[in-house]
Amino acid sequence: MDQLTGRVLSYQRTGRGSNELFSEIMRRVYVYPTRRFGLREDDCGDFLLFFYPRIRLTLLRFENRGKPFASYLYTTLKYQIRTYIAIRNREKIRRATADSPAVCNTVFFESDQIAENPPLYDPVCNSHPPPSLRAEIGEVLSVLTAVPRSRAQTGANARRIVIMAMKCCLRLNDEDIAELALVTGFDVDRLHNGWLELRACMQGRLARIAMLQNRRSAAFFQIQYAHMRIKTTAGPQMTERLQRILELHRGRYRRAGRLLQQVPLAPSNVEISRALGIPKGSVDSTVHYLRKVVAQAGLQSGR
């Protein structure tokens, strides 16, 4: 019997050692998504928050039948992470169409099967000017204070607003940072330096988006040109050659589209943690909490 299994059985008998067991299991849960499913580090934090309420039940349900507890744990995680991914994929559409863009400024795209329509990709839409930062903060505060538990947590709400605003760092300017510091009580220099650091990270991603847009547009043009030549070409050999060229550019079009989907359109939780000097776990839990509160507010408003 391995050491972890023995500790779990001892906990079931005596109820002691829960802190050490929880720490060990949380560490294994956190690294599991990257090892098995190739998810990002932000997903690791979200999955840990998703699975955390189930840790105690997992410990109590384990039975010693010759296999170690780690095997039972990873079997449980295998099914739970599939549920998490399904919920996350449904949440992508809801967050992309949220009423308040300050909650999550990330745009998500479904995987297309190349219908050969003109490629459209606008990560930062400027067609409609956003409302003032104070107005958006007021809207978010009204959602947060709708939960009775959060009314007295002014400090927690201030941190939530700052993290939420940094998710939209590309939409902020110097005046917004000063306004954010005034409303939340955070140090203006700390916010300004963190904002500049996050903007620098995002500028590199925007350059990559522009490069992939050009690549995808070029492939789209070649697809249309190959279609035109196939219609006007006589002879099976030339038609076969053009079909191979068409498939080549279709593959390039699909690859460019997949790479576009993989470029984050908002700073990651790790980047916000480093820029503001806030523990990553606090950023993870804040984003998780905001999504839950906004989802509850959306359900109540839809009734």
Q: What confidence score (pLDDT) does residue 143 get?
A: 53
Give the span between the Cα atoms of 79 and 84, in whole angstroms. 9
Task: Tell me what pLDDT residue 153 has.
Answer: 40
- The DSSP-derived string for 6-44 is HHHHHHHHH---HHHHHHHHHHHHHHHHHHHT---HHHH
Q: Is the pLDDT of residue 8 over 60?
A: yes
Q: Over the stretch 213-238, which tens digit does the pLDDT of each residue have?
A: 888 888 888 888 888 888 877 678 88
pLDDT of the residue at 130? 42
Residue type, 122: D
What is the predicted pLDDT for the residue at 267?
87
Instruction: Give mean pLDDT, residues 292-297.
Output: 69
> Which pLDDT belongs to residue 241?
86
More confident residue, 212 or 136: 212
Q: Is pLDDT above 60 for 3?
A: yes
Whether the per-residue pLDDT at 263 is higher than 70: the answer is yes
Given a cut of 70, is residue 200 above it in pLDDT?
Answer: yes
The domain ranges of the chain are: 3-96, 133-302
Band (285; pLDDT cuts 50, 70, 90): confident
pLDDT confidence of residue 251? 92
Residues 243-258: pLDDT tens digits?
898 999 999 999 988 8
Share of the chain above pLDDT 70, in %: 73
Token digits for 254? Answer: 């699909």
CB 171 within 8 A of CB 105: yes
- Structure token pair of residue 18: 């829960």
Q: What is the pLDDT of residue 91?
A: 67
